[in-house]
Structure 1
Amino acid sequence: MPDDAVSPESRATVYTTLAAGAGFRHELEIKRSRFITVLRRTGDEESARSLVASLRREFHDARHHCSAFVLGPDREVQRSSDDGEPSGTAGLPMLEALVKRETAPGVTDLSDATAVVVRYFGGILLGSGGLVRAYSESVSSALALAPLVRRQRLRICDVRVPHASAGRLENDLRAAGYVMAGASYDAQTTVLRLALPDEPDGLALAADRLGALTAGSAALLPGETEWIDVAIS
């Protein structure tokens, strides 16, 4: 097995990432230098590098556009760039701020995240130690404020019910704590999609609950697994 390969037994089934959307921005001023941090959820290297390129165009007059990203459920892809700052003073501290971020007590599982720090030099040299602290603090401060979600690999199960009862059943399932993954419709029925942990006991329990809620008139039809965003409680 290659050194960077991940065995099926060790593959992650849940991790934390940034909420989907246009991204999150935060700015610090340190000794008259402006550090503008942009965080965005990115699913691959192309998306991460595209973000860096777009910020180079937006902040074309800035001296540095330093970056770091971590990708994949197992965080197997990790890259950083100092973009002209002294080696090791920008990109690596930024990357460490991403990979060492605790998303729960003792849990460091943030991934599919790119951080870009745009620096406008303020005329005062910070020194190597000062730069390390500034870039690390910039990313850490932004992460402390950015919205996060859990991303979990779940089994998608269909429940087919008449249109008239679909709304009530969906509300009952949500109230019971189940994650809904959308719905589809045909002429006679609504197909509710439940996202369930891919475990036999959990699927059996959900089937029993569904039977109780519908007096046995609806069945749980397991399908494929998908990555689903789940709110952090």
Structure 2
Amino acid sequence: YWDASHNCSAFVIGRRAELTRCSDDGEPSGTAGRPMLEVLLGEGICNVAVVVTRYFGGTLLGTGGLVRAYGAAVKAGLENSRVAVMRYGTRLRIGTDYSDIGRIQYILGKRGLLQENAEYTDRVSLETVVAAEEEERLKKELTEATGGRAVLEAVDRYYFIDKG
């Protein structure tokens, strides 16, 4: 918001808060960014950034009022947010014939893995996202269940939101 009086910010990066920063953006020193950062650190969440935008309306809050207002804004934002757990994993493409698709779907369902981008042509192809630490076990189980007929290909590796 370019026309705002202040866009104060704070962020925490890394599981052990290896990198933290905050900005008062023109508010008196220590009255905005630091209280915002303290809320984030107190909640124990990481890899998060917050910005609180304030338009000056003529009412002077004083330093104590600013500290309370900025901290309360971050608390309210967190209360109305969903904290997600990110996991590193692989998008795995599975190709098979129709005779093995039931076994594959059963295994994916048993593990709580979603089936995505299914294509039914002369063969069946589908994708799923699996956590990195589960990938080799899943590949082994699918290979054994299909007698080696399933073709497994890692399409991409990235962080994803763990819905479990």
Q: Into which bin does the TM-score normalised by the smaller protein fall?
A: 0.7 to 0.9
1:50-90, Cα deviation, whole Å (9 max, x unpaired): xxxxx22xxx1x32221122345664432211111110110
Q: Does 1:109 align with 2:45?
A: yes
Q: Name structure 1 gaps, 5 residues minimum.
A: 1-54, 102-107
Q: In the superposition, relative to structure 1, how do residues 89 and 154 fare at CA in structure 2: closer, same or farther (>3 Å)?
A: same
- Verify the 8 A CA contact 2:142 2:150 in the aligned structure 1: no
Q: Which residue of 1 aligns with 2:22?
A: 80
Q: Write the letter of the residue equivalent to 2:41.
A: V
CA drift of 1:94 comes to 1.2
CA drift of 1:196 comes to 2.8
Q: Does 1:176 align with 2:110?
A: yes
Q: In the superposition, relative to structure 1, how do residues 75 and 178 fare at CA in structure 2: closer, same or farther (>3 Å)?
A: farther
Q: Does 1:90 align with 2:23?
A: no
Q: In the superposition, relative to structure 1, how do residues 97 and 181 fare at CA in structure 2: closer, same or farther (>3 Å)?
A: farther
Q: In the superposition, relative to structure 1, how do residues 126 and 173 fare at CA in structure 2: closer, same or farther (>3 Å)?
A: farther
CA drift of 1:215 comes to 6.8
Distance 1:72 1:124 in 2: 38
Q: Does 1:230 align with 2:159?
A: no
User: So what's the TM-score if we normalise by structure 2?
Assistant: 0.73
Q: Does 1:64 align with 2:2?
A: no
SS for the counterpart of 2:140 is helix
- Verify the 8 A CA contact 1:82 1:88 in the aligned structure 2: yes
Q: In the superposition, relative to structure 1, how do residues 170 and 216 fare at CA in structure 2: closer, same or farther (>3 Å)?
A: closer
Distance 2:98 2:45 in 1: 40
SS for the counterpart of 1:110 is coil
Q: Name structure 2 gaps, 5 residues minimum.
A: none
Q: Write the letter of the residue equivalent to 2:42.
A: K
SS for the counterpart of 2:133 is coil
Higher Cα Rg, which structure: 2
Equivalenced residues, count: 163
CA drift of 1:98 comes to 2.2
Q: Which residue of 2 aligns with 1:207?
A: 140
Q: In the superposition, relative to structure 1, how do residues 122 and 128 fare at CA in structure 2: closer, same or farther (>3 Å)?
A: same
- Verify the 8 A CA contact 1:66 1:90 in the aligned structure 2: yes
Q: RMSD over aligned Cα, in angstroms?
A: 3.5
CA drift of 1:211 comes to 4.0
